[in-house]
C-alpha cells in the first residue's frame, strides 16, 4: 500500500497513547485514517479508535479491551479475540511498538503473543498469533500467520519502527 504515516508517543497519567495518521491507497481508493491507542503503564492496550475514510466510505471504529482481555468492537463483544492484549492495525507498522515495549525482550530472547488484528480495508477484528525475537539491540525477527509471514523489524530507541522488512521504511529525517 503506497502512502505515508506519522505518529507519536504521548505520556499520560494513566499510561501511554500512540496516535497518528496514515494517508494511503487501497486498490483505487484514497484513504485517510487517524488513530489513537491508549495503553496502561505496562503497555497493555486498553482502547483504540480509528476514524477517517476509505474512498467515499466513512470509518469510525472504537475498540475496547477490559481487564479480562475481552474485546469490544463498536460496542459489540468480539469473543474470537478474547485473551489478546495488543491491538495490531493492519494498515500501520507503528503498532509493533506495543508488544516490543511491553515485552522488553533481552537480546536473544523471544516471545509469542496474540494480538487483536484490525484488518484493512474491511475493519474486522480477529486474533493474530505473532512472535518477536530480539536479534540485535534494535532489530526483531517478527513472525505471524504460523510463520507464513516473516520480517526483520528495526526500531529506534523509543521502539517506533524504522524498517519493516521490505514493505515499509521510515523516510530520512523523520
pLDDT tens digits for 1-13?
678 999 999 999 9
Report the pLDDT value the prediction gives residue 173, as an integer from 0 to 100: 61
For the chain, the domains span 3-169
Question: Is residue 98's pLDDT more than 60?
Answer: yes
Count Cα neighbours of 13 within 13 Å in the Cβ-side half-sphere: 0
Helix, strand, or coil (residue 80): helix
Flag whether the pTM goes above 0.85: yes
Overall average pLDDT of the 112-133 stretch: 97
Answer positive or negative: Cα dihedral of 24, 47, 59, 142.
positive
Report the pLDDT value the prediction gives residue 2, as an integer from 0 to 100: 75
Overall average pLDDT of the 96-123 stretch: 97
* Region for 123 from its dihedrals, namely left if φ exceeds 0, alpha if ψ lies in -120 to 50, beta otherwise: left
**Measured between alpha carbons, how far is residue 142 from residues 12, 96, 147, 167 in Å?**
28, 9, 9, 13
Q: How far apart are CA 62 and CA 108, in angstroms?
A: 36
Report the pLDDT value the prediction gives residue 13, as an integer from 0 to 100: 95
Mean pLDDT, the chain, as a whole number?
95
Question: Is residue 16's pLDDT more than 90?
Answer: yes
Overall average pLDDT of the 133-161 stretch: 95
174 pLDDT tier (thresholds 50, 70, 90): low
**Is 144:163 a contact under the CB 8 Å cutoff?**
no
Amino acid at each position: 500500500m503506497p502512502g505515508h504515516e506519522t505518529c507519536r508517543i504521548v505520556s499520560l497519567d494513566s499510561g501511554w497513547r500512540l496516535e497518528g495518521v496514515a494517508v494511503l491507497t487501497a486498490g483505487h481508493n484514497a484513504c485517510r485514517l487517524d488513530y489513537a491507542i491508549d495503553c496502561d503503564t505496562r503497555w497493555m492496550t486498553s482502547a483504540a479508535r480509528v476514524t477517517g475514510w476509505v474512498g467515499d466510505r466513512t470509518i469510525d471504529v472504537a475498540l475496547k479491551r477490559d481487564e479480562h482481555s475481552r474485546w469490544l468492537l463498536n460496542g459489540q463483544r468480539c469473543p474470537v479475540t478474547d485473551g489478546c492484549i495488543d491491538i495490531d492495525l493492519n494498515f500501520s507498522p507503528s503498532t509493533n511498538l506495543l508488544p516490543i515495549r511491553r515485552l522488553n525482550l533481552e537480546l536473544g530472547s523471544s516471545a509469542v503473543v496474540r494480538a487483536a488484528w484490525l484488518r484493512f480495508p474491511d475493519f474486522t477484528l480477529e486474533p493474530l498469533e505473532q512472535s518477536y525475537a530480539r536479534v540485535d539491540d534494535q532489530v526483531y525477527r517478527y513472525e505471524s500467520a504460523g510463520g507464513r509471514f516473516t520480517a526483520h523489524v528495526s526500531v529506534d530507541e523509543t521502539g517506533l519502527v524504522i524498517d519493516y522488512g521490505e514493505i515499509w521504511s521510515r523516510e530520512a529525517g523523520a
